[in-house]
């Protein structure tokens, strides 16, 4: 069975969006993974199809109602669903390449996209939602965050990237940022490709790349080396 992603959102028309382009889109058409965006509003039961209400305790904005969201989750994800249930949230566990690998090796994910001030805390607990953040900033909704997560995950699914586009060497794969890349022309505005890269000596090339990756990581992201 291939990786199955289901999104619960007030804006299903945003999907697949960028996930339908290039290699991810090809993987979608080739059924290496599947994507289904579900309209949260379809699970409202009143005449006005209400999905949100004012925050208990007062304050600005609106909160997504727990009963409506729970019905949507139960519809796409029965209790024995092996897929993790994620909630995109700035309060969540930061998304990392390691998390992307873990998800890519699994059966898929059910992803809830918040809007407004977020979702009622009780449905997070009642449906075992794992909160995931894509960074320390606040977006207007979880849709773009869900796309970021899926884009990072789906490209790791075997067969999605062609053999020519391997990710074995990439940033974060070995706890380092990637070494600098070059391509033709040999000379660009007076700057040449480092000689070692055109030497044909693969041992030397590997050593140079490793040293560059380490130096770059030390300057830009020393926190990665501490881990």
The contact set with ligand SAH (CB under 6 A) reads: 88-91, 113-115, 117-118, 133-135, 137-139, 141-142, 145
Whole-angstrom distance, CA of residue 94 vs CA of residue 152: 13
* Separation of first and last alpha carbons in the chain: 34
210 φ/ψ sector (left φ>0, alpha ψ -120 to 50, else beta): alpha
Which residue, 35 or 111, is less far from ligand SAH as judged by CB? 111
Smallest separation (angstroms) from ligand SAH to the CB of 149: 8
130 vs 216 by CB, closer to ligand SAH: 130
- State the nearest-atom distance from the C-beta of 134 to ligand SAH, in Å: 4
DSSP state of 20: G
Which of 66/142 has CB closer to ligand SAH?
142
Query: Which of residues 100 and 113 has its CB atom nearest to ligand SAH in the complex?
Result: 113
Q: Nearest approach, Cβ of 63 to ligand SAH (angstroms)?
A: 9
Smaller CB separation from ligand SAH, 27 or 142: 142
CB of 58 to ligand SAH, least distance (A): 14
CB of 141 to ligand SAH, least distance (A): 5
- Residue whose beta carbon is closest to ligand SAH: 114
Kindly give the residue spans of alpha helices, DSSP state H, lying in the chain: 22-29, 66-76, 97-104, 121-126, 142-154, 202-220, 222-226
Q: How far is the CB of 46 from ligand SAH (least distance, A)?
A: 22
Nearest CA to 212 out of 169, 164, 149 is that of 169
State which residue, 138 or 163, has the beta carbon closest to ligand SAH.
138
Cβ atoms 172, 97 nearer than 8 A: yes
CB 171, CB 181: distance < 8 Å: no
User: What CA–CA distance (Å, rounded) separates 131 from 85?
Assistant: 9
């Amino acid at each position: 069975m291939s990786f199955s992603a289901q999104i619960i959102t007030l804006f299903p028309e945003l999907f697949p969006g960028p996930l339908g382009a290039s290699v991810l889109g090809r993987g979608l058409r080739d059924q290496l993974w599947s994507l289904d965006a579900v309209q949260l509003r379809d699970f409202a039961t009143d005449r006005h199809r209400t999905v949100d209400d004012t925050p208990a305790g007062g304050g600005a904005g609106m909160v997504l109602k727990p009963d409506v969201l729970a019905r949507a989750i139960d519809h796409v994800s029965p209790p024995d669903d092996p897929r993790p249930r994620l909630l995109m949230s700035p309060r969540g566990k930061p998304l990392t390449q390691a998390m992307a690998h873990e998800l890519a090796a699994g059966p898929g994910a059910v992803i809830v996209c918040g809007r407004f001030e977020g979702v009622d805390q009780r449905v997070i607990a009642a449906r075992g939602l794992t909160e995931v953040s894509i960074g320390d900033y606040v977006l207007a909704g979880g849709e773009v965050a869900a796309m970021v997560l899926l884009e990072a995950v789906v490209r790791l699914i075997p067969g999605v990237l062609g053999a020519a586009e391997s990710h074995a060497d990439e940033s974060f794969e070995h706890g380092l940022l990637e070494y600098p890349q070059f391509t033709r022309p040999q000379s660009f505005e007076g700057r040449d490709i480092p000689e070692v890269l055109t030497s044909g000596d693969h041992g030397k090339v590997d050593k140079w790349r490793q040293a560059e990756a380490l130096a770059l990581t030390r300057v830009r992201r020393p926190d990665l080396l501490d881990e």
